A and B are shown apart, each in its own frame.
Chain A
Amino acid sequence: MKARVIVTLKNGVLDPQGKAIEGALGGLGFNDIDSVRQGKVFDVELASTDKDAARAELEQMCEKLLANTVIENYAIEIA
């Protein structure tokens, strides 16, 4: 089973890298940008065929390692 985990910075957490990307896009002439936030994507292949079990396991992975929940949110998509 294939799953995708998306980790993003929480609202209110300053994202200096997103700001730099926003500035660079502005420099390329993309002038209608309100803001850019940078995040991470993890594609995880699981042996399990049980979607609920997989989701529960992925949540544990996010809580324990993939996301730092002090500053980041995560979302899980299962194909």
Chain B
Amino acid sequence: MKTAVIVFPGSNRDRDMFHALELITGTRPQSVWHTDSTLPDVDLVVVPGGFSYGDYLRAGAIAARSPILKDLVAKADSGVSVLGVCNGFQILTEAGLLPGSLMRNANLHFICKEVMMETVNNATRFSSKFEKGQVWRCPVAHHDGNYFADPETLKQVEDNGQVIFRYADGTNPNGSINDIAGVMNANGNVLGMMPHPENLVEALNGGLEGRILFESLLDQAA
């Protein structure tokens, strides 16, 4: 599986993502700078976590207007898999590739801890290797992870099964509506999530649960 990671000024989880992708796919991801105009021909494009542009204006707002986004939207429209983690999720909502928006955490705190996630839809390219209903732990580290969508959008997203991950067992850390931790687009090829699966890919770092997401994608690309 060929992958690429888009790097913005202020990205800080890009190297974690490079490491996880290389470990799992066996191939070094291509690094794409935000001012580039075209993405390479890959199976998966990742928009990593961080604080692009210092979260100025709104988290992800400026990055979502970067030159590379034009081609990212084109690639997403053509069915290429796109994964946005944390700030990447914020960027994808700001770019209109995902429904809803991410607001300041309900308790106003920056939250850095482990939460429990439930995989509520495993019939997707991002989650096929999870058991349906599987509860797994995953780290979060964000200030603006409070997912919001208006009632009409929320109903569509829920009815279409676009919610893949929810915070489980009362661990919703940020006030996200319906405990939504990860949501995909209607076509099922773009996923945004606040937790960091790239940080749970090695036993040495305390767990392997995050691998399942990448292995699902690898399975689809094979």
Q: Which A residues are within 8 Å of any B CB, using their own CB?
A: 12-14, 16-17, 20, 64-66, 68, 70-71
Known: A65-B57, A68-B94, A70-B93. A14 touches B65 (CB 8 A): no
Write out, one digit per residue, whether chain B residues 47-64 have a CB within 8 A of any chain A CB (1) or not (0).
Answer: 000000000011001000
The 6 closest A-B pairs by CB, nearest first: A70-B101, A71-B101, A16-B104, A16-B106, A16-B108, A20-B108
Cross-chain contact A16 with B61 (CB below 8 angstroms): no
Known: A68-B94, A70-B100, A71-B148. A16 touches B65 (CB 8 A): no
Partner of B108, one of A12, A17, A66, A70: A17
Q: Which B residues are within 8 Å of any A CB, using their own CB?
A: 57-58, 61, 65, 93-94, 100-101, 103-108, 146, 148-150, 153, 175
Partner of A14, one of B58, B100, B149, B175: B175
Cβ–Cβ < 8 Å partners of B101 in chain A: 68, 70-71
Cβ–Cβ < 8 Å partners of B57 in chain A: 65-66
